[in-house]
Chain A
Amino acid sequence: MNYTFIALVENKPGVLNRVASLFRRRNFNIESLAVGRTENPEVSRMTVVVDCPNGDVDAHRIEANLYKLVNVIDVQDVTHQPVVTRDLALIKVRVGPERRAEVNGLAEIFRARIVDVAPDSVIVEITGTEDKIEGMIELLRPIGIVEMVRTGQISMTRGVHDGVRRMPGMESRRYEDVMEMAEMMP
Chain B
Amino acid sequence: MKLKGAEIVWECLVREGVEVVFGYPGGANMPIYDAMLNYPVHHVLVRHEQGGAHMADGYARASGKVGVAMATSGPGATNLVTGIATAMMDSVPVVFITGQVAAHLIGGDAFQETDVTGITLPITKHNYLVTRAEDIAETIREAFYIAKSGRPGPVLIDICKNAQVESCEFEYPEEPVLPGYKPVTRSPKNLLDDAVKLIEKAKKPIILCGHGVIMSNAEEELMQFAVKTQTPVASTLLGLGAFPASHELSLGMMGMHGEAHTNLAIQNSDLILAFGMRFDDRVTGTLKTYAPKAKKIHIEIDPSEVHKNVFVDVPLVGDMKTVVADLIPLVDEYDHDEWKQEINGWKNEADSRSIMNWEDDGKLYVAHLIGDIWKATGGGAIVTTDVGQHQMWTAQYYQLDQPNRWITSGGAGTMGFGLPSAIGAWFAAKDQEIWAVAGDGGFQMTAAELTTAVQEGANVKVAIMNNSFLGMVRQWQEFFFEKRYSAVNMLAPDFVKLAEAHGVPAKRVTKREEVNEAIEWARSIKGPTVLEFRVEMEDAVYPMVPAGAALHEMIRRPVKA
On A, residues with C-beta under 8 Å from B are 9-10, 13-14, 17-18, 21, 25, 57, 60-61, 63-65, 67-74, 167-169, 181-182, 184-186
Is residue B561 within 8 Å, beta carbon to beta carbon, of the partner chain? no
Among A14, A18, A60, A70, contact of B178 (Cβ-Cβ < 8 Å) = A70
Is residue B111 within 8 Å, beta carbon to beta carbon, of the partner chain? no
B179 with A186: CB separation less than 8 A: no
B317 with A168: CB separation less than 8 A: yes
Closest Cβ–Cβ distance, residue B36 to chain A (whole Å): 28
Given A25-B122, A168-B184, A168-B187, A68 contacting B179 (CB threshold 8 A): no
Main SS of the interface on chain B? loop
B318 with A168: CB separation less than 8 A: yes
Closest Cβ–Cβ distance, residue B280 to chain A (whole Å): 16
Chain A residues whose C-beta falls within 8 Å of the C-beta of B304 in the assembled complex? 61, 64-65, 67-68
B180 with A10: CB separation less than 8 A: yes
Would you give 6 A-B contacts (Cβ < 8 Å), ordered by A? A14-B117, A60-B307, A68-B125, A168-B184, A182-B179, A185-B179
Chain B, Cβ-Cβ closest to A72: B180
Is residue B40 within 8 Å, beta carbon to beta carbon, of the partner chain? no
- How many interface residues does B have (CB within 8 Å)? 27
Interface residues of B in 164-207 (CB under 8 A from A): 177-182, 184, 187-188
Closest Cβ–Cβ distance, residue A68 to chain B (whole Å): 6
- Rounded to whole angstroms, the CA-CA distance of A186 and B304 in the bound complex is 29
A60 with B180: CB separation less than 8 A: no
A70 with B177: CB separation less than 8 A: no
Among A13, A61, A74, A184, contact of B177 (Cβ-Cβ < 8 Å) = A184
Closest Cβ–Cβ distance, residue A48 to chain B (whole Å): 16
Is residue B129 within 8 Å, beta carbon to beta carbon, of the partner chain? yes
Among B117, B146, B179, B318, contact of A181 (Cβ-Cβ < 8 Å) = B179
A73 with B129: CB separation less than 8 A: no
Per-position binary interface string of chain B over residues 98-125, scored 1 when its CB falls under 8 Å from any chain A CB and 0 otherwise: 0000000000000000000110011001
Chain A, Cβ-Cβ closest to B191: A168
Name the residue in B121, B180, B308, B311 with the highest tally of chain A Cβ atoms < 10 Å from its Cβ.
Answer: B180
Task: Using A18-B121, A67-B303 as known contacts, list a sample of 12 further A-B pairs with CB atoms less than 8 Å apart, ordered by residue number in A.
Answer: A14-B117, A21-B121, A57-B311, A60-B303, A61-B304, A70-B181, A71-B180, A73-B180, A167-B184, A184-B179, A185-B179, A186-B177
- Rounded to whole angstroms, the CA-CA distance of A64 and B303 in the bound complex is 6
A68 with B302: CB separation less than 8 A: yes
On B, residues with C-beta under 8 Å from A are 117-118, 121-122, 125-126, 129, 138, 146, 177-182, 184, 187-188, 302-304, 306-308, 311, 317-318
- Rounded to whole angstroms, the CA-CA distance of A78 and B117 in the bound complex is 32
Closest Cβ–Cβ distance, residue A43 to chain B (whole Å): 9
Name the residue in B187, B302, B307 with the highest tally of chain A Cβ atoms < 10 Å from its Cβ.
Answer: B307
Chain B residues whose C-beta falls within 8 Å of the C-beta of A67 in the assembled complex? 180, 303-304
A21 with B122: CB separation less than 8 A: yes
- Rounded to whole angstroms, the CA-CA distance of A14 and B306 in the bound complex is 27
Chain A residues whose C-beta falls within 8 Å of the C-beta of B308 in the assembled complex? 61
- Rounded to whole angstroms, the CA-CA distance of A169 and B317 in the bound complex is 10
- Rounded to whole angstroms, the CA-CA distance of A17 and B177 in the bound complex is 22
Given A14-B129, A168-B318, A70 contacting B122 (CB threshold 8 A): no
Closest Cβ–Cβ distance, residue A70 to chain B (whole Å): 4
Chain A residues whose C-beta falls within 8 Å of the C-beta of B187 in the assembled complex? 168
Chain B residues whose C-beta falls within 8 Å of the C-beta of A60 in the assembled complex? 303, 306-307
A185 with B177: CB separation less than 8 A: yes
Kindly list the 4 A-B residue pairs having the minimum CB-CB distance in the complex, ordered from nearest. A64-B304, A64-B303, A73-B180, A70-B126
Closest Cβ–Cβ distance, residue B548 to chain A (whole Å): 19
- Rounded to whole angstroms, the CA-CA distance of A10 and B177 in the bound complex is 12
Chain A, Cβ-Cβ closest to B308: A61
Given A70-B126, A167-B303, A17 contacting B180 (CB threshold 8 A): no
Closest Cβ–Cβ distance, residue A114 to chain B (whole Å): 41
Chain B residues whose C-beta falls within 8 Å of the C-beta of A9 in the assembled complex? 180
Chain A, Cβ-Cβ closest to B151: A68
Chain B residues whose C-beta falls within 8 Å of the C-beta of A61 in the assembled complex? 304, 307-308
Chain B residues whose C-beta falls within 8 Å of the C-beta of A71 in the assembled complex? 180
Chain A, Cβ-Cβ closest to B307: A57
Chain B residues whose C-beta falls within 8 Å of the C-beta of A168 in the assembled complex? 184, 187-188, 303, 317-318
Among A70, A184, A186, contact of B180 (Cβ-Cβ < 8 Å) = A70
A73 with B121: CB separation less than 8 A: no
Chain A residues whose C-beta falls within 8 Å of the C-beta of B184 in the assembled complex? 167-169
- Rounded to whole angstroms, the CA-CA distance of A63 and B303 in the bound complex is 9
- Rounded to whole angstroms, the CA-CA distance of A57 and B307 in the bound complex is 7
Chain B residues whose C-beta falls within 8 Å of the C-beta of A13 in the assembled complex? 129
Chain B residues whose C-beta falls within 8 Å of the C-beta of A167 in the assembled complex? 184, 303
Chain A, Cβ-Cβ closest to B181: A70
Chain A, Cβ-Cβ closest to B187: A168
Chain A, Cβ-Cβ closest to B311: A57
- Rounded to whole angstroms, the CA-CA distance of A65 and B303 in the bound complex is 8
Chain A residues whose C-beta falls within 8 Å of the C-beta of B181 in the assembled complex? 70
Closest Cβ–Cβ distance, residue B55 to chain A (whole Å): 26
Closest Cβ–Cβ distance, residue A63 to chain B (whole Å): 8
